[in-house]
Structure 1
């Protein structure tokens, strides 16, 4: 899977939320100031070239849809983060969030309960 830029990833989030979209549909999902039509059209073409989107053509208009599921992208992204920053250790990753106070002790306990429940 080819790496996405921040703008490409942002657009993929929009398309995953919509399931399919013409350029104008995607633009409507952005806050003001809205991106220019050509910017979104170019990003969609680039995402198609990278294998993230495909399209159906309707009289010269392209309706794009995701080829890669959001969950699949998330799994790949998280594995890369885990490998790059945490030496493939989930413990190191959780310790990071605990040290940075991004996760509270109560949330950590809830996480342990979730894990234990899923293993039963």
Structure 2
């Protein structure tokens, strides 16, 4: 999978949320200050070239939709984060966040319970 820029990720999140949308609809959901219509349109076309967004032609307009599933992107992004910053070790990452976020014993127990449920 190709890496997405921050702007591309922001548009993908909107498309995942909206399921299908025209450029104008994506633009309306973006926070202020809003980018130009052409900027959003260009980012969506780049996402299409990367193979993560598709479209349907409706009259003179295009209705865009995500091809890449959010869970798949999440999984790939997390793997990249773990391999790049935590020597490929989930335990190293979990330990880092437990220390950084100063998790309580209850929160750590909750994390362990989620892990046990996944096995």
Which TM-score band (shorter chain)? over 0.9
Q: Which residue number corresponds to residue 69 of structure 2?
A: 69
- Please tell me the root mean square deviation across aligned C-alpha atoms, in Å: 1.2
Report how far residue 65 of structure 1 moved.
0.5
For residues 57-107 of structure 1, what are the alpha-carbon distances to aligned partners after superposition, in whole Å with 9 as ceiling and x for unaligned?
Answer: 112211100111000000110011111111111110011102212533321
**Hey, what's the Cα distance between the residues in 2 that align with 1:104 and 1:10?**
32
**What TM-score comes out, normalization by structure 2 length?**
0.93
Q: Which residue number corresponds to residue 26 of structure 1?
A: 26
**Hey, what's the Cα distance between the residues in 2 that align with 1:7 and 1:108?**
33
Report how far residue 31 of structure 1 moved.
1.9
Q: Which residue number corresponds to residue 105 of structure 1?
A: 105
1:11 matched to 2:11? The reply is yes
Q: Which runs of 5+ in 1 are unaligned?
A: none
Instruction: Look up the SS of the partner of 1:35 in the other structure.
Output: coil
Q: Which residue number corresponds to residue 55 of structure 1?
A: 55
Instruction: Look up the SS of the partner of 2:116 in the other structure.
Output: helix
Q: Which runs of 5+ in 2 are unaligned?
A: none
**Hey, what's the Cα distance between the residues in 1 that align with 2:62 and 2:38?**
13
**Hey, what's the Cα distance between the residues in 2 that align with 1:91 and 1:85?**
12
**Hey, what's the Cα distance between the residues in 2 that align with 1:73 and 1:27?**
22
**What TM-score comes out, normalization by structure 1 length?**
0.93
Q: Which residue number corresponds to residue 93 of structure 1?
A: 93
Give the direction of change, closer, same or farther, for the CA distance of 1:47–1:103 in structure 2 (3 Å limit).
farther
When the two structures are aligned, how many residues end up with a matched partner?
A: 119
